[in-house]
Structure 1
Amino acid sequence: MHDQRLKDIVPFVVSVECGSFTAAAERLQVTGSAISKSVTRLENRLGSRLLERSTRRLQLTDAGNAYYQTCMRIMEELAEAESVLAAQRTIPSGRIRLSVPNTFGRLAVMPALIPFCQQHPELTLSLTFSDRFVDLFEEGIDVAVRIGNNVDLPAALGSRPMGRERLVFCASPSYLQRHGTPQTIEQLLQHPAIVYEKADGSGKPWLFTGADGHPEWRNVAHRMSLGEVDAQLQAACAGLGIAQMPTWLIREALERDELRIILPQLQPEGLPLTLIWPRRKQLLPKVDALLLALEGLRIH
């Protein structure tokens, strides 16, 4: 990359952050004219207008906003690369961004992050809760926890397994007292089910282990289909039917005797849980430390 390109990027980014060429000049300790010429030179080279000038404030154009986001990522990656080579490279520091699934993140990941943050006071944690598959590169995520099969994972992403969900059938003590405890699969299927509602509006089938040892999905007659696992948990604790849910979700309800496991011999493995991260960030002490902390999670 030509040196002038990097020289022009900094005045452009600082101008956006400060809102004016004058304020940017004060921060960079140069003249306002030098800042203006640098941004104009950048626009001419790119063939696009990046900033709308006014007497009150600079305003990014659409092209300018896209270029600004790219510049920020480049500058952040340069800073991270320098931190790898820093003298105190073994001390995790700086901002680290983690993305986790909503409920799993709250119940399983967050308890592990509290001692992690206490152990590393020089780290600033940014935690995003989202059930969608985030784009780590586009959104600047350092580490993500993903529930589901990771087929066709790009080579630029590293991954480590965290285990698999263990699914159990469960119901509240009050429900079992009223309706009895099923002792066989056939009896189980006669009870009203509380199932997870998929994006297309249909109920998610229950998972069983077939006679050949392979997973077998069965559609079940259900009383309720709910698009949130927290709502499933509440309905099951309220005695509205039988649900199949991961043990990490119902652990506290089991401890409080709000739910009881039915047919414990039927505990098929659910979806895999995986840590993923951009490989180029693995050498960063903060990423390495977070991966180590999350690897210690016990999914059960």
Structure 2
Amino acid sequence: MDLNLIQAFVDIVDAGNLAEAGRRRGVTRSQVSRQLRELEHQAGAQLLRRTTRRLELTEPGHALYQHGVRILQEVASAQAEIDSLGRTLRGHVRVSVPTGLGDAYIAPLLLQFAQKHPGITLRVFFANRVNDLIAAEIDVALKVTSAPPLDHVAREICDIRWQLYAAPQYLARIAPVQVPPDLEGCSFLCPPFPPRQFPLSLYRDGQRVDVALTPTLQSEHFLFLARAVREGHGIGMLPVYIGWEEVRAGHLVPVLPDWRPEGLGNKLFIITTPNLHPSMATRALIGFLREELGKLEVFRDAVK
């Protein structure tokens, strides 16, 4: 089968329709349709069923798509390997990073990597809820979680610690917070959690205390949450990598510093799809991020 036609078929399936596939490939819809018909002729089977709303894979189409993706990955890996022999890494890597961590620390590293490897192009997504890398068309995802997906390859990078923080001016106008139950009288800011009340667990020297708090503000964008805490809206639960700089600048102070809250995710992972032969570009980016994250002061003691 023609490799170019296989690439066109994979693009059609990933795009979901002929028009979008044509846009991504820079050709017309009719050209993509002709390529599909030619591939079906070569395969001797119908690969897609065309309905009024969408395209559906037939059983032969599903098999060809699965093999086609692997074939194209192998070709890309071979080309990258050949390029690396000439000491020039080439390729394209699609990266997903969480918003707060990405804005504060990962974005500068990605720009350093791009400058170091001009032959590698990057497409960077800032997103917190990427779970299916194949569906999202992501090659490498950085994710803070306690349970990485079992059907992906997860490389543990470091522990993620959480802390309660507040602005000095907020603490000056409320009753002292000396033990966990004192939090029940405070405005609480935190990441989104489905129930109305946030079940906060705090740990100290093997002791655990649970308090149920009703958040006054929730956001998964930690820089926004840190700003709200800094402006005195309440006590916020933030990852230490966000609160650390704010404390050093004198904008925030830890609340109940001897107690460690249980956050929404306690480790940082680099996650990829199962692939025995990832591209040289992908391997280079993973290696670079693991090395550079270990140099950052906020992560230095936590990197595995």
- Report TM bin, short chain: 0.7 to 0.9
Partner of 2:141: 144
Which residue of structure 2 aligns with residue 245 of structure 1?
238
Corresponding position of 2:206 = 212
Structure-2 change in CA distance of 1:139 and 1:80 (3 Å): farther
Alpha-carbon offset, residue 236 of structure 1: 1.3
The code of the aligned residue for 2:253 comes to R
Cα separation, partners in 2 of 1:211 and 1:284, compared to 1, 3 Å: same
Of residues 250, 253, 266, the one that matches 1:257 is 250
Per-residue CA distance 1:11-52 (angstroms, 9 max, x = gap): 87799543277x78xxxxxxx9xx7983562485226567x9
Q: Write the letter of the residue equivalent to 1:139.
A: A
1:184 equivalent in structure 2: 179
Paired residue for 1:45?
45
Return the match for 1:202 from 196, 207, 211: 196
Q: After superposition, what is the alpha-carbon deviation per residue over 1:200-255, rounded to whole angstroms, capped at 9, x for unaligned?
A: 35243323115635x654312x4604133444323211212212211112234334
Q: How many aligned residue pairs are there?
A: 275
| Structure whose CA Rg is larger | 1
Q: Give the TM-score normalised by the residue count of structure 1.
A: 0.73
Structure 1 position 186, deviation (Å): 4.2
Q: Distance in 2 between matches of 1:36 and 1:231?
A: 47
- Residue 177 to residue 212, structure 1, CA distance change in 2 (3 Å): closer
1:157-201 C-alpha deviation (Å, 9 max, x unpaired): 332212222111211121122236533334444433223331x35
Please tell me the residue identity of whatever aligns with 2:46: L
Note the 1:11-26 alignment, pairs <5 A.
Answer: 16=22, 17=25, 18-19=27-28
- Cα separation, partners in 2 of 1:49 and 1:253, compared to 1, 3 Å: same
Deviations 1:141-161 (A, max 9, x none): 22111111225612xx33221
Cα deviation, residue 104, structure 1 = 2.0
Q: Which deviations, in whole Å up to 9, do the C-alpha atoms of 1:47-105 show, x marking residues without a partner?
A: 6567x9xxxxxxx9724899699487456314323225415256432111111122222
Structure 2: which 5+ residue stretches go unaligned? 13-17, 300-304
| 1:100-179 aligned within 5 A | 100-150=97-147, 153-154=150-151, 157-179=152-174
For the residues of structure 1 that align with 2:190 and 2:47, how far apart are their CA atoms? 55
Offset at residue 124 of structure 1 (A): 0.3
Q: Distance in 2 between matches of 1:269 and 1:48?
A: 48
> Structure 1 CA distance, aligned partners of 2:173 and 2:153?
50
Distance 1:123 1:47 in 2: 33
Distance (Å, rounded) in 1 between the aligned partners of 2:267 and 2:8? 46
| Cα distance in 2 between the residues matched to 1:7 and 1:119 | 31
Q: Matched residues in 1 for 2:7 and 2:270: separation?
A: 34
Distance in structure 1 (CA, Å) of the matches to 2:182 and 2:271: 41
Does residue 233 in structure 1 map to residue 226 in structure 2? yes
Q: Structure 2 length as normaliser, TM-score?
A: 0.72
**Which residue does 2:15 correspond to in 1?**
none
Q: 1:57: which partner in 2?
A: none
**Cα distance, 1:268 vs structure 2:** 4.6
Residues 65 and 179 of structure 1, relative CA distance in 2, 3 Å threshold: farther
- State the secondary structure of the residue aligned to 1:219: strand
Contact 1:203–1:225 (Cα < 8 Å) also in 2: no
**Equivalent pairs: percent with the same residue?**
20
For 2:45, give the aligned amino acid. R
Structure 1 position 79 matched with structure 2 position 75: yes
Match of 1:280 in 2: 275
Name the SS of the counterpart of 1:206 in structure 2: strand
Distance 1:240 1:37 in 2: 61
Match of 2:302 in 1: none
Deviates more, 1:94-103 or 1:274-283: 274-283
Q: CA deviation at 1:286?
A: 1.4
1:93 aligns with 2:90: yes
Letter in 2 for 1:46: Q
Unaligned segments of structure 1, at least 5 residues = 25-31, 53-59
Question: Is contact 2:202-2:262 (8 Å) kept?
Answer: no
